[in-house]
Structure 1
Amino acid sequence: MRDQEGRWSTAEESVARRLRDEAERHEPDRDRMWSRVETAMVGPYTTGPPEETERWSRPRRGWWSRWSGLRVAATALGTAAVVGVTSFTALALTDRGGRLPHPPMTGRDGGDIPAQSPAQTSSQVPTPGKMPEGAASATPEGTRSTSPGTTKRPAAKGRIVEVTGAPGANSTDHWGENTLRLEVRRPLAGLDVTIRVVRTRRVNPTGSWLSLPASDFRISTDATDRAVVYRWTLFPGRAIRPGSYVIAAQYDRGADHDPRRDAFTLTATAATTETTVQGHF
């Protein structure tokens, strides 16, 4: 039994040695490989199954199973030889053209699609922050965009507060909210805000709120036959820091109420400067 195993081992070593010798003597034909690669690139792509399928029968048990070690060694050496030839082919193709060729792109009708140069591709992508050539700007120079029904009071030179009046986003046909957004530029020692809602059918006050501390203000709501008046007055000795703030008045209303008829008045004091802003929603 040991003699038989020794013969198998000697046969495997002989085959392995001969495979290594053949691999060392192999000299790849670069031109032939290049020609075959180009032919495969240009030729049509086929994805269907081959016309004939080889059928492999199950190997018989017995003496054939003893050749397992020989088959493993032969497979490993064959794989190493293929890897070496493939690497050499890639180097040869790179030396010849600088990069591997790309297969031609085809459209639905089978025609070739012309490739675009990088310059053509980049010219069609708009640069962030820039308008495409020939397109009109959405906001004219010298103005600031606001939503419909919004009254914008831009801050003039030296103005200590900027005010924007607009209907609330949650307003409905039966309930409304008028919102003032304040951009305070300098510390305020005094602030008085009034929102006047025209008294149309079904208009009644339902509340108010502000993003500043409510304890710093005297807050009141008065209803007359002509309007509902909301007022916020900063207590003496309190101050407002620069920043963004919101003041809002809420009310029930009918579908015929137009908030554009509602008005606001804001008076702000900073040191020795006083500013008054008026507008509509």
Structure 2
Amino acid sequence: MDEDLRERLRTAAASHRPDRARMLARIERGMAQGPPARPARAPRSPMPWLRIAGATVAVCGVLTAGAFAVTSTGREEPSGGQRVAAEPAPPAPATPPPVRGGELPAGKGPLWSDGSLDPNSSDYWAQSEVVVKTTEPLTGLTVELRIAMNGGVNTTGSWRSLPEGDFEATAREEDGYLVYRWTLKPGRGVPTGTHTFAGQYNHAEGARDTGQDDYTARARTADGTTSVGGGFSETR
């Protein structure tokens, strides 16, 4: 094999992208020119095809290793890939705020009640309130508020949160008390919910003791009758 052919083979083996068909074609063209004159002592290169194939395999191995390295590096963070993020833990369920003042202190069956002094009461005037809460519709209801006649008490009016036309309301002195009374008219009803009845009155200047004041609420439902009552602990 002459030097020209060897040079061509070395060039083909060093190529980054070997073209096997082109290399074979060059070898065939070189061999078609006939064997060149060789020096008498120049040893014959054994098995030239094995050397050509070995060079080709070496080049292909280098290129394959390079491609594998590039692919491995790119696989670490693929373009356009998606990251799966852990979903946050669901928020803890909200705890209902405590009811200020708690449930109505007096209760029986579907009826509950509470008596209190309006915070806007003064040293000359006061408003006592009875709150009635029912969990069933009422077909009859009478609310009675009794204010002890101590300290020059006299009425200045009354009101209720239910419709005025559904009740007969009175205010009179009875046995040392100013008595406010609201009575549901026949054929009328009280819906489920919380309802307020209030009596207003003047009194002598200064703090007034409410320890003797009280109230009652008597109701009728589809299942029968029930009543609740209580007093007023505040002093005004």
Q: TM-score if structure 2 supplies the norm length?
A: 0.54
Contact 1:151 1:280 in 2 (8 A): no
Aligned match for 2:136, one of 183, 186, 202: 186
Say which SS state the counterpart of residue 215 (structure 2) adopts. Answer: strand
The match for 2:105 is 152
Residue matched to 2:230: 279
- Pick the aligned partner of 1:165 from 100, 112, 115: 115
Which amino acid is the alignment partner of residue 167 of structure 1?
Answer: L
SS of 1:215 mapped into structure 2: helix
Instruction: Report the Cα distance in structure 2 between the residues aligned to 1:240 and 1:197, rounded to whole angstroms.
Output: 25
Contact 2:112 2:134 in 1 (8 A): yes
Alignment of 1:220 with 2:190, yes or no, is no
Higher relative contact order (CA closer than 8 Å, sequence separation 6+) = 2
| Rg larger in structure | 2
* Cα 1:223–1:185 shift into 2, 3 Å: same
SS at match of 1:259: coil
Compute the TM-score of the two structures, normalised by the length of structure 1.
0.45
Give distance in 2, aligned partners of 1:214 and 1:160. Answer: 23
1:196·1:229 contact (CA, 8 Å) conserved in 2? yes
CA distance, structure 1, for counterparts of residue 104 and residue 117 of structure 2: 10
Name 1:230's counterpart in structure 2.
180
How high is the sequence identity, in percent, across the aligned residues? 33
Q: Deviations over 1:56-115 (max 9, x none)?
A: xxxxxxxxxxxxxxxxxxxxxxxxxxxxxxxxxxxxxxxxxxxxxxxxxxxxxxxxxxxx
Structure with greater proportional strand content? 2
What letter matches 2:105 in structure 1? K
Quick one: which of 210, 217, 231 aligns to 2:160?
210
Map 1:260-279; keep pairs closer than 5 Å: 260-279=211-230
How far off its partner does 1:196 sit?
0.4
1:70-219 maps to which residues of 2 (within 5 A)?
Answer: 129=95, 146=101, 152-153=105-106, 155-156=107-108, 159-219=109-169
Gaps of 5+ in 1: 1-126, 131-138
Deviations 1:23-61 (A, max 9, x none): xxxxxxxxxxxxxxxxxxxxxxxxxxxxxxxxxxxxxxx
Measured on the aligned residues, the alpha-carbon RMSD in Å equals 2.8
Q: Tell me the SS of whatever aligns to 2:211.
A: helix
Shift of 1:163: 0.6
Alpha carbons 1:151, 1:279 under 8 Å: kept: no
> What's the offset of the Cα at 1:234?
0.5
Which stretches of structure 1, 4 residues or longer, exceed 6 Å deviation after superposition?
A: none
CA-CA distance at 1:192 after TM superposition: 0.5
- Give the total of aligned pairs: 141
Instruction: Give the aligned partner of residue 45 of structure 2.
Output: none
Cα distance, 1:256 vs structure 2: 3.8
Contact 1:146 1:152 in 2 (8 A): no
Instruction: Name whichever structure is richer in helix by fraction.
Output: 1
